[in-house]
Amino acid sequence: MKIAIIGDMHLGFDHHGPRKNDSFINAREAFDIAISEKVDLIIQTGDLFHERLPKPEVLSPAIQLMNSVKSKLNSPKIINRIYDGKEELLNKEIPPIVLIYGNHEKRPPEYINPLQMLHGAGSVYLMEQESLVIEAGKERIGIHGLSSVSETYVKELVKDWNPKAFPNMKNLLLIHQNFQELLPKQPPETMSYSDLPSNMDYHILGHIHWAQTEKHPKSKAPIVLPGSTVMTDLKWIESKSKKGILIVDFKERISSKFVELKNSRILHYEVINAKGKKPSDITNEIQEDIIKKIEYHNHKLIPLLRYSIRGELADGFIPSDVSLRPLVKKYIDRVLIKIDKSKLTSKILSEKAKLVSDLKQNKVSVEALGIKILSEKMKIKDLDKLSFLFNALGDGDLEAAEKLL
């Protein structure tokens, strides 16, 4: 069985910014590759959408895209489904796009998330925590999918779930979580590769935005990260790895190829050493680099330039003195400039600048700060209540917010 594996697509990313079309341009190219490869099935790793509540302006083209893919591929069939410990024998046609939901789509249990909506409309098949035997042509494959769950209890949940491999076919696991091996400084409850079941032939990981291939420490089965189709975090590692999708042939032997997305915008990541420099020295250095990048650019989308300015500035200057706004304006039609000053320091740092810097370095989350302010304003001390109220207000769910008071 030939399967296209597509990573996090984040449809609707930067909806109000200059990269508003990027997620859709790349999604269309990814699906076009899958269609031209005549795959039997497409697996998507969750975070199809960038937000829990995508706007109709994002939902509508997304549904059109899924439905157009569906019209161009044959419908696979579910033969067997194990859900909540119960096994069902079926013979049911499903859409060719099978996916799980990611952390970006997750909503509280009693709410409907956007992928549940697409599933209900018959545009995709969503797996929450279930095992399927899927048949395409005369071939069968077992897929075990787990949508995003809290990092604090995922290990226990996977252990309890303990998906059984279906006999006489390849079995693959689809999951969207953090992994110790991929992200530094994770709390101890975060999963490691060895927490993945060792009875699977193949593991597909969403959530991580760069492409990488690993092996299960016990079973030696592949662990693959297709990587997102659009750049969101602008990490250094994303500038070094290409965006693309995997085409995998699940025969007796599993073979795969990575097909690059040619339309994906180019990201350049540069580290600028600020040690002992004046702000004007830094902006001059960056301007020279911008000119060079423009000269060598040959992609139809203007490039994204990420400058990470690091080190302690010359005496008497603070990070906010380093402003690239004039450069951003000057080159607005030629490059997109993103600055990271989280590692830029000075001898004098005001309290406000320190708070902003802490926020940027994730020493304190915006959410925690918001809850703290809310707690002071509303004089509420119950942490659970505060967190629910904060989320309800964030969702614009005033009715739910009112009920909490």
DSSP SS3 for 290: helix
Least distance to Mn ion, CB of residue 343, Å? 24
> For residue 224, what is the enclosing H or E element?
strand 222-225
Q: Which is nearer to Mn ion, 8 or 130 (CB)?
A: 8
Cα–Cα separations (whole angstroms), residue 376 to 372, 373, 379: 6, 5, 5
Number of residues binding to Mn ion, judged by CB under 5 A = 2
Tokens of 218: 């016990």
Tokens of 267: 């990201």
Least distance to Mn ion, CB of residue 237, Å? 14
DSSP H helices in 84-224: 114-120, 154-161
Q: Which is nearer to Mn ion, 145 or 279 (CB)?
A: 145
Q: Which is nearer to Mn ion, 47 or 130 (CB)?
A: 47
Least distance to Mn ion, CB of residue 102, Å? 5
Q: Which is nearer to Mn ion, 44 or 308 (CB)?
A: 44
Type of residue numbered 163: P
Question: Residue 359, exposed/middle/buried by CB under 10 A (0-12, 13-18, 19+)?
Answer: middle
**If binding is defined by CB under 5 A, does position 22 make contact with Mn ion?**
no
**If binding is defined by CB under 5 A, does position 47 make contact with Mn ion?**
yes
Least distance to Mn ion, CB of residue 273, Å? 31
Please give the DSSP secondary-structure letter assigned to residue 261.
-
Least distance to Mn ion, CB of residue 139, Å? 30
Q: Which is nearer to Mn ion, 123 or 228 (CB)?
A: 228
Residue 134: count of CB within 10 angstroms of its CB = 25
Binding test (CB under 5 A) with Mn ion, winner from 8, 22, 29, 135: 8
Q: Cα–Cα distance between 203 and 182 in angstroms, integer?
A: 15
**If binding is defined by CB under 5 A, does position 201 make contact with Mn ion?**
no
DSSP SS3 for 233: coil
Q: Which is nearer to Mn ion, 231 or 305 (CB)?
A: 231
Tell me which stretch binds Mn ion (CB under 5 A): 2-10, 141-149, 385-393, 395-403.
Answer: 2-10
Binding-site ranges for Mn ion (CB under 5 A): 8, 47
